[in-house]
DNA sequence: CAATATGAAATACATTTGTATTTTAGCCTC
DNA sequence: GAGGCTAAAATACAAATGTATTTCATATTG
């Protein structure tokens, strides 16, 4: 049941005061509790809430994480407006065990950086139209937007949806963005890979799809991620592709995809029927929609390189370790 | 002895990585230490350094701290563009003991709020010219600018420097701003209170001083603090004033100063030789330079009230407790 | 008005963090 | 290469923090 409004306000105020005392004032929880006349346990909970809801936010100065030269190189090499790297963490002393954890980190790191980027973007244009893709990185991004309010912003998926439902689904992603910011969300209520070329035509003719695509094309920024083309890839795991299709696509030269558009090592859309069945903004359209590529995880290295060659992206947010590998290739 | 440059960079990188693992990645210090191949104690120190040097900064979302009516009243009463209050914390159950801590807290709180303000300002005009004053509040402000990059910004002291060197010195403040943001810093390489009226003329004639003042006048925002006029005031403690001068100034009606300009309860510059020896932007010039007054600590109440009457400020950032007291007076 | 649900206080305890001390390893100086 | 210096590792311990449990007061509901 909904909490009383006064109580909620009172609560948020207490939260802010506790947070100030603790984080800015440097009091410990006990002292802060005494000061506020409540128990330490309560202060502890308040602080937890404050972090979760974004009343307090912790930022790390991106200067001197040591990747500025890398950022510049990548930006210049691929003609981007900007390139942001998260800190490189790769040099762990105990090689094997960490790789899983590391991958998770990459998603969070890139998600956090992307969230910060969006925050800045919304600060300058609060009525922005923001295109969104799908996947784990995008999902992480939505989780780290606490405290961002943008009731006038509109989030629009630049692609159709998954059939299987998961937190990575464009539908969920857009919803999460809208909820986090108080803005509006729009999705394309069709699968993003149609069953046949004919089906695609029918779906594409839908007014709601046309409207969504139209809105997506006018985005002032669009956050999209890319996929690698392997048996482990999310596309496969979500059953959007069959094993045979993967083999075919690879045979056609495909090394990765963005929003279901498969491209080869040179960043060109490959000649394969699947590419005729995708319901999403194309590579050129993404560029016009100010696409920002989010790259998390070293398994995406090859796909990332190819994607950058395609020229679809205006900007790049990439985890530091993958960026370092990319540097070696260019 | 000065540390090797490479080592320093290496160190700062390690700091950033540790901070990232801990604050963003959510690892505890032990896990982060293992990941980085160093001891937990070292991680602990790195994190401490990271906080102190502003590599990580913790900001608090200022919505709903409950002082909006106070902010509006003060803003309207003194014709300001804006007034920002930090949370009021005065209602501690155990009256006496806290006053010292509270004061320290006020500096930090106002510094944090001012840092957030600057952050926003720089977001809209990255090549801004920013005037700066001196003192503990300004110094705190510089420590809380983590994550702000503004290589095109210029920071210019609106006043001469202290003779005694301290972290509060305009020189240090400007330097800290420049370092934190990557921007440029300019100072007036002269004392801000000359030994005599004649000396002031000579110093003022310096080309570098003229240039600095010129630049300061064109600031798009200037952060300045005010001082109360007591034996405890920073001016006295930094030996910028003799005890006799304080007595004289008080006799002339002075209740406070900003940048060495002494004013009375009505906010008028008092008629005293000292006011002829100050090397700094005057009250009217500060208004033109879009001055924002930073007020931290209840001991500054009277001076703050007078300062606001002077009309020198375009905006105000004040700690909540002092704001509440101010409210009672107006 | 009694029954019940709720949120916070009180309490207790395990974990994490901060800090001091000692030991070790590398490095500079002579 | 011995001596002394420094930074970090290793260790140990005290303080703060996170979390669960029980108890209590208050508000809500039938």
pLDDT in tens, B212-232: 899 999 999 999 999 999 888
The pLDDT of residue B90 is above 70: no
Tens digit of each residue's pLDDT (9 = 90 or more) over A169-208: 899 999 999 998 999 999 988 888 888 899 999 999 988 8
Q: Which of B188, B304, B193 is nearest to B245 (CA)?
A: B193
Establish if A58 belongs to a structural domain: no
Percent of chain B with pLDDT over 70: 91
3-state secondary structure of A64: coil
Residue found under tokens 């002032």: A220
Percent of chain A with pLDDT over 70: 91
A54 CA → D20 C1’, Å = 26
Residue found under tokens 């934190």: B180
CB B311 within 8 A of CB B79: yes
Q: Which of A253-267, B43-57, B66-80, B200-214 has the lowest mean pLDDT?
A: B43-57
Tens digit of each residue's pLDDT (9 = 90 or more) over B265-313: 999 999 999 999 999 999 999 999 999 999 999 999 999 999 999 999 9
Band of pLDDT at residue A82, cut at 50, 70 and 90: very high
Q: What is the pLDDT of residue A220?
A: 95
And the tokens for B330?
């107006």
The pLDDT of residue A314 is above 90: yes
E strand residue ranges, chain A:
56-60, 82-85, 129-132, 154-157, 184-186, 221-225, 227-228, 254-258, 261-264, 291-295, 315-318
Whole-number Cα distances in Å, B164 to B167, B169, B172, B204, B212 = 10, 8, 12, 20, 21
What's the average model confidence in pLDDT over B44-68?
A: 76
CB B304 within 8 A of CB B227: no
The answer to whether residues A89 and A178 belong to one domain is yes
And the tokens for A175?
């919803």
CB A304 within 8 A of CB A226: yes
Band of pLDDT at residue A93, cut at 50, 70 and 90: very low
CB A128 within 8 A of CB A155: no
The answer to whether residues A87 and A148 belong to one domain is yes
Establish if B62 belongs to a structural domain: no
Establish if A149 belongs to a structural domain: yes
What's the average model confidence in pLDDT over B118-131?
A: 88
CA distance B5 to chain A (A): 13
Establish if A276 belongs to a structural domain: yes
CB A255 within 8 A of CB A272: no
Contact residues, B window 174-203, toward A, CB-based 8 Å cutoff: 182
Q: State how far the Cα of A167 lies from the Cα of A294, in Å rounded to an integer.
A: 17
What single DSSP character describes residue A265? T
Tell me whether A117 touches chain B (CB under 8 Å). Answer: no
**Domain of A199, in residue numbers:** 68-329
What's the average model confidence in pLDDT over B8-14?
A: 66
Establish if B58 belongs to a structural domain: no
Name, in order, each residue with C-beta under 8 angstroms of B61's C-beta and a sequence gap of 6 or more.
A16, A54, A55, A56, A57, A147
The pLDDT of residue B318 is above 70: yes
Q: Which of A132-136, A147-151, A283-287, B319-323 has the lowest mean pLDDT?
A: A147-151
And the tokens for B326?
């101010």
Contact residues, B window 133-152, toward A, CB-based 8 Å cutoff: 146-147, 149
Q: Cite the DSSP H helix spans in chain B.
A: 5-19, 29-36, 40-53, 68-77, 99-124, 136-143, 170-181, 197-205, 207-217, 234-237, 243-251, 283-288, 301-310, 320-329
Q: What angle do CA A140, A143, A144 make, to 5 degrees?
A: 95
The pLDDT of residue B99 is above 50: no
Q: State how far the Cα of B264 lies from the Cα of A143, in Å rounded to an integer.
A: 53
Enumerate the β-bridge partners of residue B154.
B129, B184
Establish if B243 belongs to a structural domain: yes
Whole-number Cα distances in Å, A123 to A145, B121, B133, B167, B280 = 13, 11, 27, 33, 34
Band of pLDDT at residue A305, cut at 50, 70 and 90: very high
Helices B320-329 & B301-310 angle (0-180, nearest 10): 70
CA B52 to chain centre: 17
The answer to whether residues B125 and B220 belong to one domain is yes
The answer to whether residues B146 and B28 belong to one domain is no
What's the average model confidence in pLDDT over A108-128?
A: 89
Q: Which nucleotides of D are covered by protein (CB under 7 A)?
A: 8-12, 16-21
The pLDDT of residue B111 is above 50: yes
Q: State how far the Cα of B92 lies from the Cα of B113, in Å rounded to an integer.
A: 22
The answer to whether residues A45 and A155 belong to one domain is no
The answer to whether residues B47 and B97 belong to one domain is no
Contact residues, A window 261-320, toward B, CB-based 8 Å cutoff: none
Q: State how far the Cα of B285 lies from the Cα of B310, in Å rounded to an integer.
A: 12
Name the phi and psi angles at A37, rounded to 5.
Answer: 70, 30
Last residue of a domain, one of B30, B53, B76: B53
Q: Which nucleotides of C are covered by protein (CB under 7 A)?
A: 7-12, 16-21
Name the phi and psi angles at A59, rounded to 5.
Answer: -120, 150
Phi-psi sector, A203: left (phi>0), alpha (psi -120 to 50), beta: alpha
What single DSSP character describes residue A3? P
B1 CA → C28 C1’, Å = 14
The answer to whether residues B35 and B76 belong to one domain is no
3-state secondary structure of A81: coil
Percent of chain A with pLDDT over 90: 51
The answer to whether residues B41 and B167 belong to one domain is no
Tell me whether B8 touches chain A (CB under 8 Å). Answer: no
The answer to whether residues B9 and B88 belong to one domain is no
B129 CA → C8 C1’, Å = 50
User: Which CATH number fits the domain that encloses residue A32?
Assistant: 1.10.10.10
CA nearest to nucleotide C15 C1': residue: B28
For the ranges B22-36, B68-82, B96-110, the one whose mean pLDDT is highest:
B68-82
Establish if B125 belongs to a structural domain: yes
The pLDDT of residue B91 is above 80: no
Is the CB atom of residue A208 positioned under 7 angstroms from any atom of strand C?
A: no
Helix then strand then coil, in percent of chain A rounded to 5, is: 50, 15, 35
Whole-number Cα distances in Å, B249 to B95, B225, B229, B254 = 33, 19, 8, 5
And the tokens for B253?
């009606």
Residue found under tokens 């923001």: A130
Q: What is the pLDDT of residue B10?
A: 60
User: Which CATH number fits the domain that encloses residue B167?
Assistant: 3.40.50.1360
For the ranges A42-46, B4-8, B86-90, B278-282, the one whose mean pLDDT is highest:
B278-282
The answer to whether residues B306 and B265 belong to one domain is yes
3-state secondary structure of A242: coil
Is the CB atom of residue B50 positioned under 7 angstroms from any atom of strand C?
A: no
Tens digit of each residue's pLDDT (9 = 90 or more) over B141-157: 998 887 678 899 999 99
Name, in order, each residue with C-beta under 8 angstroms of A243's C-beta and a sequence gap of 6 or more.
A231, A236
Top pLDDT among B54 and A40 is at A40
Q: What is the overall mean pLDDT for chain A?
A: 86
Q: State how far the Cα of B98 lies from the Cα of B52, in Å rounded to an integer.
A: 23
Q: State how far the Cα of A51 lies from the Cα of A60, in Å rounded to an integer.
A: 15
Give CA torsion, residues A317, B129, B107, B181, to 10 deg. Answer: 30
And the tokens for A143?
């989780």
Name the phi and psi angles at A204, rounded to 5.
Answer: -65, -30
The pLDDT of residue B248 is above 90: yes
Tell me whether A7 touches chain B (CB under 8 Å). Answer: no
| Residue of B9, B24, B317 to mutate when probing chain A, most A C-beta within 10 A | B24
Q: What is the overall mean pLDDT for chain B?
A: 85
CB A296 within 8 A of CB A136: yes
Q: For chain A, give the longest Cα–Cα distance.
A: 70
Neighbours of B296 (CB within 10 A): 30
The pLDDT of residue B95 is above 60: no
CB A187 within 8 A of CB A170: yes
Is the CB atom of residue A149 positioned under 7 angstroms from any atom of strand C?
A: no
The answer to whether residues A136 and A190 belong to one domain is yes
Band of pLDDT at residue B65, cut at 50, 70 and 90: low
Enumerate the β-bridge partners of residue B223.
B132, B292
Q: What is the pLDDT of residue B49?
A: 82
Q: State how far the Cα of A99 lies from the Cα of A78, in Å rounded to an integer.
A: 28
Neighbours of B238 (CB within 10 A): 17
The answer to whether residues A25 and A74 belong to one domain is no
Is the CB atom of residue B44 positioned under 7 angstroms from any atom of strand C?
A: yes
Q: What is the pLDDT of residue B102?
A: 57
Quick check: A24 and B109 CB within 8 A? yes
Q: How many domains does chain B have?
A: 2
Establish if A63 belongs to a structural domain: no
The pLDDT of residue A24 is above 90: no
Give CA torsion, residues B306, B308, B313, B316, to 10 deg. Answer: 120
Tell me whether A3 touches chain B (CB under 8 Å). Answer: no
């Amino acid at each position: 049941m909904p909490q009383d409004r006064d109580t909620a306000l009172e609560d948020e105020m207490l939260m802010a005061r506790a947070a100030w005392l603790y984080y800015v004032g440097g009091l410990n929880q006990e002292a802060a509790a005494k000061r506020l006349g409540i128990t330490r346990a309560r202060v502890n909970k308040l602080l937890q809430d404050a972090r979760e809801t974004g009343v307090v936010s912790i930022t790390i100065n991106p200067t001197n994480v040591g990747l500025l030269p890398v950022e510049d190189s990548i930006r210049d090499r691929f003609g981007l407006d900007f390139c942001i790297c998260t800190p490189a963490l790769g040099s762990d002393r105990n090689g094997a065990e960490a790789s899983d954890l590391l991958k998770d980190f990459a998603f969070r790191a890139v998600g956090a950086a992307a969230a910060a980027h969006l925050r800045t973007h919304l600060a300058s244009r609060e009525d922005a139209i923001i295109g969104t893709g799908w996947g784990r990185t995008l999902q992480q991004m939505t989780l780290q937007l606490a405290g961002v309010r943008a009731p006038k912003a509109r989030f629009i998926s630049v692609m159709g949806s998954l059939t299987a439902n998961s937190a990575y689904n464009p539908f969920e992603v857009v919803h999460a963005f809208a909820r986090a910011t108080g803005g509006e969300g729009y999705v394309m209520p069709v699968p993003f890979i149609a069953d046949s070329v004919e089906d695609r035509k029918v779906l594409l003719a839908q007014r709601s799809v046309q409207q969504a695509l139209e809105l997506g094309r006018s985005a002032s920024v669009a956050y999209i991620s890319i996929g690698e083309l392997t048996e482990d890839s999310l596309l496969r795991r979500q059953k959007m592709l069959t094993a045979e299709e993967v083999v075919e696509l690879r045979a056609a030269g495909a090394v990765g995809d963005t929003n279901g558009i498969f491209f080869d090592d040179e960043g060109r859309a490959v000649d394969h029927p699947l590419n005729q069945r995708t319901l999403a903004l194309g590579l050129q359209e993404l560029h016009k929609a100010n696409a920002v590529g989010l790259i998390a995880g070293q398994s995406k290295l090859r796909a990332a390189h190819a994607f950058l060659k395609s020229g679809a992206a205006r900007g790049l947010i990439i985890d530091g370790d993958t960026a370092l590998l990319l540097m070696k290739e260019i």
